[in-house]
């Protein structure tokens, strides 16, 4: 049997199988939980990416099919991503998070980033990681891979995509457990925004990737300058 024949057979098996979609989704979630409890060091994102790549290969599709494809206009995509990324960071910091703090009694716990204040090397490292592991990696995992897997499970229709958006956004918030209850709520809202952009742009990943990266960049620069609320 050739590799092509093998992929055709596995693709036929996966096609339309909700049971396999459920098992696949469960394994991906278990990997994320492994990162939460410390079984997986540093970040579980690369491990989910690797698992996702394998599952996509078995399905006979690739990341392009999930939205990692050239947008209609790079200029519009970049401008939109930068504008929303900056705007949402300030909306979150000065409107959403204070409102969340009124309900929970605390702002999101970002104390682990305190060493970044005035530290140029740490700022550079944080920006590299924010654009690679967070913006690129997490968008492929959460908006690209997981949203599509949940949609496969509940139905790839309007209602199914809404359910997928909500479920994956909550999961996105939970994996930021280190930021406390307020952080989980804030990151869940961020996930809803990023997932909404993914759907609004015809399930293209580039706007969410750019928004995510710019959003994190503004936050890290504010921390570096000592102007981040609550730090």
Measure the CA–CA gap between 26 and 21, rounded to whole angstroms: 9
- The pLDDT of residue 7 is 62
Measure the CA–CA gap between 108 and 121, rounded to whole angstroms: 24
From first to last of the 231 residues of the chain, give the pLDDT tens digit: 565 656 666 666 666 677 888 889 999 999 999 998 888 887 899 999 999 999 999 888 899 999 999 999 999 999 999 999 999 999 999 999 999 999 999 999 999 999 999 999 999 999 999 999 999 999 999 999 999 999 999 988 999 999 999 999 999 999 999 999 999 999 999 999 999 999 999 999 999 999 999 999 999 999 999 999 877
Helix axes 158-174, 147-154, angle to 10 degrees: 130
Tokens standing for residue 229: 């609320």
Measure the CA–CA gap between 128 and 132, rounded to whole angstroms: 6
Place of tokens 């980033």: 113
- The pLDDT of residue 21 is 83
Q: Which residues contact 194 (CB under 8 A, 6 or more apart)?
A: 139, 142, 143, 208, 211, 212
- The pLDDT of residue 20 is 83
Contact in structure between 133 and 46 (CB atoms under 8 Å): yes
The string of DSSP codes covering the chain is --HHHHHHHHHHHHTT-HHHHHHHHHHHHHHHHHHHTTSS-S-SHHHHHHHHHHHHHHHT--GGGGT-S--S-HHHHHHHHHHHHHHHHHHIIIIIHHHHHHHHSS----GGGGGGTT-HHHHHHHHHHIIIIIIIIIIIIIIIIIHHHHHHHH-SSHHHHHHHHHHHHHHHHHTTGGGHHHHHHHHHHHHHHHHHHHHHTTS-SHHHHHHHHHHHHHHHHHHHTT-STT-
Name the residue ranges covered by the structural domains of the chain: 3-224
- The pLDDT of residue 16 is 62
Polymer length in residues for the chain: 231
Measure the CA–CA gap between 187 and 175, rounded to whole angstroms: 9
- The pLDDT of residue 13 is 61
């Amino acid at each position: 049997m050739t590799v092509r024949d093998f992929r055709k057979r596995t693709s036929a098996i996966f096609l339309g199988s909700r049971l396999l979609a459920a098992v696949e989704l469960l394994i991906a979630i278990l990997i994320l939980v492994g990162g939460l409890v410390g079984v997986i060091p540093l970040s579980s994102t690369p491990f989910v990416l690797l698992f996702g790549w394998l599952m996509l290969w078995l399905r006979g599709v690739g990341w392009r099919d999930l939205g990692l494809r050239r947008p209609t206009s790079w200029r519009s995509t970049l401008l939109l991503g930068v504008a929303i990324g900056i705007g949402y960071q300030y909306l979150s910091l000065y409107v959403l998070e204070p409102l969340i703090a009124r309900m929970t009694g605390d702002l999101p716990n970002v104390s682990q980033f305190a060493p970044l204040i005035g530290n140029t090397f740490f700022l550079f490292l944080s920006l590299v990681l924010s654009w690679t592991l967070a913006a690129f990696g997490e968008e492929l995992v959460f908006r690209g891979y997981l949203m599509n897997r949940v949609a496969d499970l509940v139905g790839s229709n309007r209602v199914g995509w809404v359910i997928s958006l909500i479920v994956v956004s909550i999961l996105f918030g939970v994996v930021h457990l280190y930021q406390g209850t307020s952080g989980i709520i804030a990151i869940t809202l961020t996930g809803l925004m990023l997932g909404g952009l993914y759907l609004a742009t015809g399930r293209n990943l580039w706007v969410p990737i750019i928004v995510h990266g710019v959003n994190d960049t503004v936050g890290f620069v504010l921390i570096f300058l000592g102007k981040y609320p609550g730090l």
